[in-house]
Amino acid sequence: MVSFKRDNNPGFLDMHVKYLKRLLNEVPIDAIEVDDMYDYVGLASCGCKYCRERFKRDYNREIPSFDDNFFWGDTSKPMLYWGNYDNPAFRNFIRIKSESVANHVKLVKSTAGKIPLQTCSSSTGPIVLNTISLNLERMSPYLDFFMLENVGQNGNGVNWVPKDQ
Ligand SMILES: [Zn+2]
């Protein structure tokens, strides 16, 4: 039996497990891809009670108000550029968000069992991806495959060096 920290919305996770079990029971599938395992809205979420409880439990910290620039950085910029990485509390917040996604992938893998599990992402390198909790390294222990979908939508997709900064 695999145990999980219920750090995301437990109702949502319960729904996803029930859906997967139904899918596996009713459809003869060879493999599963769970796509887009990250927070689309990034740092604009999540301040729900479950995330607040986890931040308190794991780091003894509170999610500060949005006007705390020492935590949130310059929020006049687009969301991908928010955050004060010099602040350990902010780095802890980034960590719990990516761990939450990884725990979700772990839950999916425990439900899928031996059926191969894959995810993919549209990009993997830029540090701004921390803001949307896209961290394939954290998810990788629970995946059989992942596709590095570094294609982008134009010729810049083959310009690798800036992708790693
Ligand atoms: Zn939350």
pLDDT tens figures, 120-156? 876 666 677 888 888 888 888 999 988 776 655 556 6
pLDDT-derived band at 103 (thresholds 50, 70, 90) equals very high
- Residue 97 inside a domain? The answer is yes
- Residue 127 inside a domain? The answer is yes
Residue 146, strand partner residues: 119
- Residue 17 inside a domain? The answer is no
- Residue 101 inside a domain? The answer is yes
- Residue 80 inside a domain? The answer is yes
CA 48 / ligand 1 centre spacing (Å) = 4
- Helical residues (DSSP H) of 9-165, grouped into ranges: 10-26, 49-59, 69-72, 88-112, 136-139, 160-163
The pLDDT of residue 18 is above 90? yes
For the residues 77-90, what does the mean pLDDT come to?
94
Higher pLDDT, 51 or 69: 69
Half-sphere exposure of 18 (CA within 13 A, CB side): 6
The pLDDT of residue 74 is above 50? yes
Which range is least confidently modeled, 31-35, 63-67, 128-132? Answer: 128-132
Q: Is 146 helix (H, G, I), strand (E, B) or coil?
A: strand
CA 129 / ligand 1 centre spacing (Å) = 18
- Residue 7 inside a domain? The answer is no
Model's pTM, two decimal places? 0.83
For the residues 30-47, what does the mean pLDDT come to?
86
- Count of domains in the chain? 1
Which range is least confidently modeled, 18-22, 36-40, 107-111? Answer: 36-40
Domain holding 50, by residue range, is: 30-163
CA 32 / ligand 1 centre spacing (Å) = 25
For CA atoms 151, 155, 156, 161, give the dihedral sign.
positive
- Residue 22 inside a domain? The answer is no
For the residues 34-44, what does the mean pLDDT come to?
85
- Residue 64 inside a domain? The answer is yes
